[in-house]
Structure 1
Amino acid sequence: MQRRHVFTVGAGLTLGGAAAAAVPAVAGAEPALKRRPADTAEAAERIAEAFATESAAAGGEWQARITLLDDSGPPTVAVDRDSRAVKSAASVNKLGIALAVLDKIDRGELALDDRLTLEPDIILGGSGFYFHQTVYGDELTVANILVAMLMPSDNTSVRLCGLLSDAYEINGVLEAKGFTDTRVIPNEENPNRMWLGDTTAYETNDLLHRLAAGELLSEESTGFFLGVLRGLSGYHDGFRRSMSSAERSRVAVKYGAYAANRNESGVVYDSAGEPALVYSLMAQTEGHDDNYGATHPVVEAHARMGRAVFDIVDSLPR
């Protein structure tokens, strides 16, 4: 498959691990493919089958869009299930916040080495690590805040980003870049505070596709953004679970979970370091709201899909 010339990140990491042996799949996963797909169309069919099988096994309501990148035209759509439905983004909304902050950096109104003080009254619990410190006063760079928000999905970092770019500005950047449904929710009493809002599988897929293509940000900001999402200290319960560390470094990922919602989106890179596939998965289930771990049925489905999709991408003719 010939892929569109797109922004390459961290090729050295991927090339060094290209020959790594495959790790065992999650229990219940299908055996590794024994025959290479003849072309992109066949690869898309196999990905669609894997999605259909695993989403049905997990149950719940799903929205999804999975696309294969190709330089001969638009991306090949492997999966599109109710992808325009507007749903709670949960922490996947942090992609939009990071995009707006980095866009402000590209405009010269901020810099990665600008600093904020971590004050006790801005601390928010849940996911992340700042709230564990119990003592504060740290001088944090914008780079530190963005890494905390994207990699361990720190919730306090959302409030810190609100001091850098308020909710109205964030939504304005998203609108200017063509996103009509991806929004944060402003706090009318404090414009520097916001709540995570909504998105669609379609727009999240589009955001990551255009980001990987270098169309949304400068080359420097694009490299920073995708480099953090590919970090090996990031999220591994879902798509990246049954992969070696070298394989994991080839998947840029953002996960979001709140109440019944379990969302995950990312970019899969080929062994040459080129973006090859973009996925956006959203699901809502009943009876598992308090399970934020790897045993959640949707997260287990993500893991099985991840292994299958990664192998399909890797087996495509080049």
Structure 2
Amino acid sequence: MTLNRRSVFGLGTVAAATAVLGSTGAAAQAQEDAEVEIERSPTTADRSRKRVAQVYRRQVRKAKGTWSSLITVADLDGQTKSAVDENADVVVQAYSVNKVAVAVAVLDKVDRGLIKLTDQVEVTEAIVIQDTDGIFALDGAYPSKVTVGHALANLLTVSDNTAVRLCGLVVPALELNQILRDKGFVHTQVVPVANPNRFFLGTTTAREMHTLLQKLVDGQLLTAASTAYLLNILRATASFTDGVRLNLRTNERLRVATKAGWFEDGRNEAGIMFSEDNRAILIYSMFASGTFDGDKAENDADFSTTHPAVAARAELGRSMFDAVIKITTTKPKHRAKVYRFVNGG
């Protein structure tokens, strides 16, 4: 049997949004042409939000497709306000963005002392998904064992699909969903299958994923140690770079914790941008699907930055970063690990 993302993770049962953002009509074009350009790097949060909203509208209209998004910028006093709030309560297919939720459930059990990051899980030939995402299908060295920590690192950086199954060995699907529901995430759920330790990655909403990230960085989901562990992985240079982080320099990428997800026509990404003094200043949650600009068949097979939606996120990522570069907030600091250049040895 040939395995692909559909057979491994599934599509779930909830319909995607049908409203396409960014009208291409003449009236919309005329309105934008007359719009006052917001400065690239504002000095207030309010102007930053207006800048983000302006660039978002332009990029979404250019890319086309159906978008569900929530982007917020924090004020100096720590209050967050929306720059973009479009179809944010529509239930959408999360794809690999839900791997963040999976990691939260695993770390919740770590926090409760039920498992440890150093616990080992067995990598059998049967559990390895034979795709080209991640490393487990490439190493050819199984049966073997890895730690829960290794599984999480591969889950969130190279988005290894086998790592999803490895996480399922320590947090079965029904338990995982209950952990998320207990934390208030009723739409951010995986889809159980016959094997209790396996699941499809399921659904979320732009608002719920945004809330998950907000609560995570505010220390409301996990212990301080688990929060730092998870955010450091998402901020690592090994994490996803084709979308929001693409046009950022290395030291700038380290100020962005992000996770992308894709399958068929879906192109999603959610994450957190940190101010220069390491405070969560901007949170984004963007889910796009449907018919984008260009040839649909080519787009559906393209998961790189040449895809219109991913290209839009890359342009928006640079603009979002620049829009908040001159502002900060009173939110708690999160210290990322310093990236060190080495040459082996």
The bucket for the TM-score relative to the shorter chain is 0.7 to 0.9
| Secondary structure of the corresponding residue to residue 229 of structure 2 | helix
Spell out, residue by residue over 1:240-270, the C-alpha distance to the aligned partner (whole angstroms, 9 max, x if none). 0011100000000000001110000000001
Residue number among 289, 294, 300 corresponding to 2:305 in the alignment: 294
8 Å contact from structure 2 (residues 38, 47) kept in 1: no
- Give 1 or 2 for the bigger CA radius of gyration: 2
Query: Amino acid of the residue matched to residue 195 of structure 1?
Result: F
Query: Amino acid of the residue matched to residue 87 of structure 1?
Result: V
Q: CA deviation at 1:283?
A: 0.3
Aligned to 1:161: 167
Q: CA deviation at 1:299?
A: 0.3
| Secondary structure of the corresponding residue to residue 315 of structure 1 | coil
Query: Amino acid of the residue matched to residue 169 of structure 1?
Result: E
Residue number among 309, 313, 327 corresponding to 1:316 in the alignment: 327
Residue number among 258, 263, 286 corresponding to 2:268 in the alignment: 263
Q: CA deviation at 1:71?
A: 5.5
Distance 1:74 1:297 in 2: 33
8 Å contact from structure 2 (residues 40, 319) kept in 1: no
Unaligned runs of 5+ in 1: 1-31
Distance 1:91 1:299 in 2: 15
Residue number among 218, 224, 245 corresponding to 1:219 in the alignment: 224
Query: Amino acid of the residue matched to residue 327 of structure 2?
Result: L
Residue number among 264, 269, 273 corresponding to 2:278 in the alignment: 273
8 Å contact from structure 1 (residues 38, 317) kept in 2: no
Distance 2:188 2:180 in 1: 7
Query: Amino acid of the residue matched to residue 227 of structure 1?
Result: N
Query: Amino acid of the residue matched to residue 173 of structure 2?
Result: A
Query: Amino acid of the residue matched to residue 213 of structure 2?
Result: L
Aligned to 1:179: 185
Q: Is structure 2 residue 127 aligned with structure 1 residue 145?
A: no
Distance 2:253 2:263 in 1: 24
Q: Percent identity?
A: 38
Q: CA deviation at 1:274?
A: 1.0
| Secondary structure of the corresponding residue to residue 277 of structure 1 | strand
Residue number among 74, 89, 101 corresponding to 2:106 in the alignment: 101
Distance 2:74 2:172 in 1: 34
Q: Is structure 2 residue 136 aligned with structure 1 residue 136?
A: no
Distance 2:163 2:78 in 1: 38
Count of residue pairs the alignment pairs up: 286
TM-score by length of 2: 0.80
Query: Amino acid of the residue matched to residue 229 of structure 1?
Result: L
Task: Give the direction of change, closer, same or farther, for the CA distance of 1:87–1:136 in structure 2 (3 Å limit).
Answer: same
8 Å contact from structure 1 (residues 125, 155) kept in 2: no
Q: CA deviation at 1:133?
A: 1.4
Aligned to 1:79: 84
Unaligned runs of 5+ in 2: 1-36, 330-345
Distance 1:291 1:215 in 2: 37
Q: CA deviation at 1:33?
A: 7.5
Q: CA deviation at 1:317?
A: 6.6
RMSD of the alignment, in Å?
1.5
8 Å contact from structure 1 (residues 33, 311) kept in 2: no
Residue number among 318, 324, 328 corresponding to 1:307 in the alignment: 318
Q: Is structure 2 residue 58 aligned with structure 1 residue 47?
A: no
TM-score by length of 1: 0.87
Q: CA deviation at 1:36?
A: 4.3
Q: CA deviation at 1:72?
A: 3.0
Distance 2:235 2:76 in 1: 23
